[in-house]
Chain A
Amino acid sequence: MNKFLSYVGFIALSLSAQAVKHPGFDVSSIKIPTGQDPQVGGLDIMPNGKIVATFHEGDVRIYDPETKQWSLFASGLHEPLGLVAEDDHTVVIVQRPEITRISDTDGDGVADSYQCLCDDFGMSGNYHEFSFGPARDAEGNFYLSLNVASNGAPIREEIRGEWLELGLAREKFMVDRKEWGAGIKHEAGRMYSRVPYRGWVVKVDAKTGEMTPWASGFRSPNGLGFGPDGELYVSDNQGDWVGTSKLHQVKQGNFYGHPASLPWTEGYEGPDPVKADAKKLDEIRTPAAVWFTQSTMANSPSQPITIPEGFGEFGGQMLIGEMNKARIIRVILEEVNGVTQGACTPLIDGHGLDMGVNRFVFNEKNELIIGHEHLSWPGGEGMAIVSPANNAPYQDVKTINITADGFTVEFLQDVEDTAELAKSTLVRYTFDYHHHYGSAQRERENIGLTFTPVDGSKKKFTVSLDKPHKEDFCYEFNITPSYNPLLCYTVREIPAK
């Protein structure tokens, strides 16, 4: 085989050896009709079991899993990036300018009513002001996240909504791209929010369309979902003020770290966010429940979703997509001293999956439907299904909990080879909170660890450490018997003894 690799002038490097099939889950694809951009911005299952999806070119299409046929339901939308099916004839989608309820009122299978539920937020015309969501709460109300603008481009001459008179003057934005790129862009802030509620999560009443600004401090929150605890979770992407990508548990009134959004807080009297002081902001921000270490775990996490019972043994945990790798990440949360924190570990990693894992929905067979997207960033296209059908036993960490001086870990299968388990390693590090783009791993140190069976169990072990716990550190394990050895636990709180 290696003779293929050695031609003069060509350096073809060796195949990365990886098992293609996942032992516990099958990955297959759903064929998308040709003739359109196959990027999926939103996904849901209708009560009748059909899959409904939004596409990059503004269409909403319905897929019948029985006949494997697609039909066009709605079209003409402006970059729809999320959708919820209210019934078999009605979907609520989020597109750039608004959240819209789209219905087929005459029963011909094609939507005829496009009701603007809410458009009470601003648009500067900057490409980066994506609108994400909706996540629907138990009462049926909707949560959207509104991306901030990027200084990769200025704004447009006409905007929608109020202009924030704080920071770089509006006319300074009215320059051609060359002049903008040559220097003015740096005065705008890496990411900016100059029209209302950019960088916020907002709540929209399902009946009245009334909007409530819910929480601030987001940068590029491409993913909202409710957790097993009934709380709202929102992901955010590494960049300025975001040392590494993360998942937040989101509560009303909280600030989650990116200051561009702050001036839209009622009664705000603070400085231009470009001049914000990290120390002061650190006192008011709510840190993430889970960090996704850049490069190692994820670069651009997307939608979180709660796992139903019957999807492996992971019911009640969460999954989150990743755009830059062919990876789906499992999230294991717990509450410690009233604070939600937890672990993340790859579930599917390659295994025939494409990158750009953007949107999720589970069908009634507990199969995970995936919509891929890239929007010209690293990512993928099309749709896939991850099925637990073969449910073959394999070894992985089922769950992990923090203790006063270590962790407890429970495996899916008995650990027969404890010598192998003893080879596991642990390193911990933290991240800076600052206006720079991303953060290096700080104060990185190796931790010695010892596994001890709990009450003679072969599945459950306590993990004792050779150093005391540290708050606000990411603990990166390499657990050798696991099929996915990489597991990171974000320590915010340490339980009492």
Chain B
Amino acid sequence: MRHHLIITTIALACVSLLQAEPKATGRPITIKAVDGLQFDPPQARMKPGQTVLFRFLNRDSNDMPHNLVIIKEGALEEIQKASMQITPEAIARGYVPDHEAVIKGSKLIKADEGDEFYFTAPEEKGVYHYVCTYPGHSSIMYGALYVGKGAPKLHTDKNVPQVVRNQALELENAKKNVARPFMRRYFMTNAGPAAIGVALPGDQNYCWDAGNCRLRYAWTGDFINYGSTSRTNGSQQVSPSGKVYWTGGGDNLTYTISTGDDSLKPDFKGYQLINGTPKYTYHFGELVVTEFPQTQDKALVNTISVQNASAPIKVYAKGNVTSNVGTREGDYIVVNPADAQNIQLTFPAQ
């Protein structure tokens, strides 16, 4: 009996909530008016018939008023024309045009203020627009509301203003063609979770793993396109955009240095940027090791310095890697303590 009473109470509370505000069936959508007469984001998506809370914020630092008016499909031009009227009636309506194509209009909002309203998407799939109808703004200040449809990539979207498309294209290109040297830590394919990606001058790139402190692979050409990692939860593993020419193989117990003592693990200490390029430091038992991969004569050269070595050490150099010192023994180069402070491994790109 008692449970019934509780359930009834909760049900009644829910009913009274429903009367107070419509029930949202999707996540709120925040759209800001930002500098340069733009909406951020310039694209939004809803399902047909879905109700969401629209939060419109004016974040234009040029202190301009804006509104947000959602209009019928195909009516952008008409609304742009209609929004040019500066009449007492238009002012009284907060410049929302008195036009049959207007579905929903916000209040006219001053800078650093906002408005909220519930909006139910039309049942018809389509591309609707949200427009600022403050006189003079609508020609470039609009965004595309995709109802029941996927939005194309911003730089190809004909439903957003040209200037927004151009900016998106610039960003896309900047992310693809990084200014070298450049580095970014991220989840990377074929490496441990503490990976570091580095773009060196001369189109050399490599992945260094801060978990097991070693070079994992190297490639030439484009670096990594991070474009798809924006606004995500970071789950993605990124991979080289160019051609991988050397892969270290091994596993997460394979380290650059081997002393024969299998209990040792590298202890990462960080890196210095020298001309924007990282020089890594780690401890390996008593040994203090630095690794400094750089571009030299179109090849990747990793300069390794081992301090405190008292016995020969082995340096991981799988494949066609060459060394300035030591003698090859399988996947390793054996180096005498006297030579350990300046080991140069060369990774020739084909």
Smallest Cβ-Cβ distance to A374: which chain B residue? B231
Chain B contact surface mostly: mixed
A128 to B269 alpha-carbon distance, docked (Å): 25
Once the chains bind, are A97 and B104 in contact (CB under 8 Å)? no
Contact of B193 among A11, A20, A31, A97 (CB under 8 A): A97
A437 to chain B, nearest CB (A): 18
**Neighbouring A residues of B211 by C-beta, 8 Å:** 97, 123, 158, 160
Q: Is the CB of B103 within 8 A of A10?
A: yes
Which residues of chain A are within 8 angstroms of B292 by Cβ–Cβ distance?
none
Task: Give the complex CA separation of A124 and B192 in angstroms.
Answer: 9
Task: Let me know if A111 is at the binding interface, CB within 8 A.
Answer: yes
Asked whether, in the complex, the Cβ of A13 is within 8 Å of the Cβ of B117, the reply is: yes
Contact code string A105-120 (vs B, CB < 8 Å = 1, else 0)? 0000001111110010
Indicate whether A337 reaches chain B with its CB closer than 8 angstroms: no
Say if the beta carbon of A57 comes within 8 Å of chain B: yes
Cβ contacts under 8 Å, A153 to chain B? 235
**Could you tell me which residues of chain A, from 269 to 307, have a CB within 8 Å of some CB in chain B?**
none
Q: Is the CB of A7 within 8 A of B194?
A: no
Contact partner, B234, options A114, A127, A381, A382, Cβ 8 Å: A127
Chain B residues with Cβ under 8 A from A377's Cβ? 233
- Taking the closest CB of chain B, its distance from the CB of A457, in whole angstroms, is 33
For residue A27, which residues in chain B have a CB less than 8 angstroms away from its CB?
112
Interface pair B28/A378, CB less than 8 Å apart: yes
**Which stretch, B79-87, B118-126, B301-309, B330-338, touches the partner chain A?**
B118-126
Stretch at the interface among A239-247, A347-355, A396-404: A347-355
Q: How far is the CA of A16 from the CA of B52 in the complex (A)?
A: 12
Q: Are B57 and A354 in contact (CB under 8 A)?
A: yes
Given contacts A34-B167, A158-B193, A160-B252, contact A350 B118 (CB under 8 A): no
A116 to B112, CA, bound (A): 40
B104 touches A4 (CB 8 A): yes
Most buried by A among B102, B112, B186: B112
Among candidates B115, B170, B210, B230, residue contacting A57 with C-beta atoms closer than 8 Å: B230
Residues in B whose Cβ lies below 8 Å from that of A34: 167
Are B119 and A13 in touch, CB under 8 angstroms?
A: yes
Q: Once the chains are docked, how many angstroms separate the CA of A340 from the CA of B61?
A: 43
A26 and B112 contacting across the interface, CB-CB below 8 Å: yes
Closest-CB distance, A119 to chain B (whole angstroms) = 6
The answer, among A14, A158, A351, for a CB contact under 8 Å with B192, is A158
Inter-chain CA distance A127–B237, complex, in Å, is: 10
- Residue A39 lies at the interface, judged by CB distance under 8 Å to chain B: yes
- Given A20-B115, A27-B112, A28-B112, are A79 and B234 neighbors across the interface (CB < 8 Å)? yes
B232 within 8 A of A: yes
Q: Are B193 and A124 in contact (CB under 8 A)?
A: yes
Q: Check if B57 sits within 8 Å of A13, measured CB to CB.
A: no
Q: Are A115 and B269 in contact (CB under 8 A)?
A: yes
- Beta-carbon contact of A114 and B273 below 8 Å: yes
Chain A proximity of B54: nearest CB distance (Å): 10
* Given A58-B185, A76-B185, A382-B59, A12:B234 Cβ within 8 A: no
Chain A's nearest CB lies how many Å from the CB of B91?
A: 14
Alpha-carbon distance A353/B58, docked complex (angstroms): 10
Q: Does A186 sit within 8 A of B, measured CB to CB?
A: no
When C-beta atoms are compared, the residue in chain A nearest to B170 turns out to be A35
Please state if A160 and B185 are interface contacts (CB–CB under 8 Å).
no
A159 and B252 in contact, given A13-B118, A112-B273 (Cβ under 8 angstroms):
yes
Verify A7–B100 contact, CB threshold 8 A. yes
Are A376 and B233 within 8 A (Cβ)? yes
Q: How far is the CB of A303 from chain B (nearest CB, A)?
A: 19
> Are A15 and B115 CB-contacts (below 8 A) given A4-B103, A7-B100, A127-B235?
yes
Known A-B contacts A97-B185, A160-B194, A444-B10; the reply to A15 vs B117 at CB < 8 A is yes
Give the shortest distance, in Å, between A248 (CB) and chain B (any CB): 24
Q: Contact at B268–A355, with CB atoms within 8 Å? A: no
Query: B171 an interface residue at 8 Å Cβ cutoff?
Result: yes
Say whether A136 faces chain B, with CB atoms less than 8 Å apart. no
A253 to B34, CA, bound (A): 48
Q: Which residue of chain A has its CB nearest to the CB of B274?
A: A112
Contact among A4, A7, A56, A444 with B230 in the assembled complex (CB-CB below 8 Å): A56
Report if A20-B59 is in contact (Cβ < 8 Å); known contacts: A76-B184, A125-B193, A354-B32.
no
Is A18 an interface position by the 8 A CB rule? Answer: yes
B171 nearest CB across to chain A (Å): 6
Shortest Cβ gap from B248 to chain A (Å): 12
A34 nearest CB neighbor, chain B only: B167
A31 to chain B, nearest CB (A): 5
Contacts A160-B192, A160-B211 given; indicate if A116 touches B268 (C-beta within 8 A).
Answer: yes
| CB-CB contacts below 8 Å: A1-53 with B | 1, 4-5, 7, 9-16, 18, 20-21, 26-29, 31, 34-35, 37, 39
B61:A116 contact, CB within 8 angstroms: no
Q: Across the interface, which residues of A come within 8 angstroms of B171, CB to CB?
A: 35
Complex interface: chain B residues within 8 A of A156 (CB): 187, 193, 237
Partner of A12, one of B103, B186, B268: B103
Report chain B residues within 8 Å CB of A119.
194, 210, 268
Q: Does B191 contact A (CB under 8 A)?
A: yes
With the chains together, A380 CA to B59 CA distance in Å? 13
Question: What residues on B are CB-neighbors of A151 within 8 Å?
Answer: none
| A251 proximal to B (CB < 8 A) | no
A341 interface residue per 8 A CB criterion: no
**Pairwise interchain contact B237-A29, C-beta atoms closer than 8 A:** no
Query: In the bound complex, do residue A111 and residue B233 qualify as a contact, i.e. CB atoms below 8 Å apart?
Result: no
Residues of chain A lying within 8 A (CB to CB) of residue B93: 1
* B183 & A76 in contact (Cβ 8 Å cutoff): yes
The answer to whether B270 and A100 have CB atoms under 8 Å apart is yes
Q: State the CA gap A442–B187 with chains docked (Å).
A: 42
Task: Please state if A18 and B55 are interface contacts (CB–CB under 8 Å).
Answer: no
- Residue interface bits A359-395, CB-to-B below 8 A is 1, else 0: 0000000000000001111101110000000000000
Q: Are A375 and B234 in contact (CB under 8 A)?
A: yes
**Chain A CB within 8 A of B163 CB:** no
CB–CB B119/A15 < 8 A: no
Contact A12 B120 (CB under 8 A): yes
Set of chain A residues within 8 Å of B185, measured between Cβ atoms: 58, 76-78, 95-97
Cα(A170)–Cα(B35), bound, Å: 50
Contact A78 B186 (CB under 8 A): yes
Q: Which of B118-147 contact A (CB under 8 A)?
A: 118-120, 122-124
Q: Are A375 and B96 in contact (CB under 8 A)?
A: no
Residue interface bits A55-96, CB-to-B below 8 A is 1, else 0: 011100000000000000001111100000000000000011
Q: Is B271 an interface residue (CB 8 A)?
A: yes
Q: How far is the CA of A20 from the CA of B196 in the complex (A)?
A: 45
Which of B6, B40, B193, B273 is within 8 Å of A111, CB to CB?
Answer: B273
Name 14 interchain pairs, CB-CB below 8 A, sorted by A: A4-B105, A11-B120, A14-B117, A15-B107, A20-B113, A76-B196, A77-B185, A98-B268, A158-B251, A160-B252, A326-B55, A354-B57, A382-B32, A440-B10
Give residues in B with beta carbon < 8 Å to A.
Answer: 6, 9-10, 21-22, 27-28, 30, 32, 35, 40, 51, 53, 55, 57-59, 61, 70, 93, 96, 100, 102-107, 109, 112-120, 122-124, 167, 170-171, 174, 182-187, 191-194, 196, 210-211, 226, 229-235, 237, 251-252, 268-274, 278
What 4 A-B pairs have minimum CB-CB distances, sorted nearest first? A127-B235, A78-B185, A97-B194, A123-B193
Chain A interface residues toward B at CB < 8 A: 1, 4-5, 7, 9-16, 18, 20-21, 26-29, 31, 34-35, 37, 39, 56-58, 75-79, 95-98, 100-101, 111-116, 119, 123-125, 127-128, 153, 156, 158-160, 326, 350-355, 374-378, 380-382, 440-444
